[in-house]
Amino acid sequence: MGLEEIIPSIALILVLILVLPGFIKLNLKNKDFFINLSIWGIIVLALMIFLYLIF
């Protein structure tokens, strides 16, 4: 595992740490949480498929 893999991984973890408390605060109701989680899941899935097809 080279430096070109470690640095982006650390950056993603730090962004997750910064975003997660606000995400949880905004989604205290279960219905809102699952709607937002499913939207983000669709976005991530579409992005992964798009990147897989390009590379």
Q: Using CA atoms, how far apart are residues 23 and 20, in angstroms rounded to an integer? A: 5
Confidence at 1, pLDDT banded by 50, 70, 90: low
Could you give the number of structural domains in the chain? 1
Confidence check: pLDDT of 47 > 90: yes
Its domain, for residue 29, covers: 3-54
**What's the whole-number mean pLDDT along residues 2-8?**
85
The number of C-alpha atoms within 13 Å of 27 and in the hemisphere containing its C-beta is: 16
